[in-house]
Amino acid sequence: MLQRLRAVVRSVAPEAVETISYGIPTFDLHGRHLVHFGGFTKHVGFYPTPSGTETFQAELVGYKSGKGSVQFKLDEPLPEDLIHQIVEFRVREVEGER
């Protein structure tokens, strides 16, 4: 799941730089954090910043989420289309801050 999530992010933001921040894989764009993600015992954590989860609040209703975070259970399909949309939003947001 982590490799698939990484591939989705990479497809949307090929110019993003992969790094580690807060001890988890991170994609940075123009020196700003785009998204973070990490693997845990029962879920994959996806961290598109608070604006990413707030903007897609309606679409994230079925997932456990918090301020800037969402959990995708390991025994459920990864919502690749939703992740794609969130990353596109974050790219636009970061590009607009330049």
Average pLDDT over residues 22-50: 97
Cite the DSSP H helix spans in 1-98.
2-12, 49-55, 80-96
pLDDT of residue 3: 97
Structural domains in the chain?
Answer: 2-90 (3.90.1150.200)
pLDDT of residue 6: 97
Q: Which amino acid is at 57?
A: Q
Asked if residue 72 lies in contact with residue 44, where contact means CB atoms within 8 angstroms, the answer is: yes
pLDDT in tens, 57-80: 999 999 999 999 999 999 999 999
Average pLDDT over residues 80-88: 98
| Residue 91 pLDDT grade (very low, low, confident, very high; cuts 50, 70, 90) | very high
Asked if residue 12 lies in contact with residue 6, where contact means CB atoms within 8 angstroms, the answer is: no
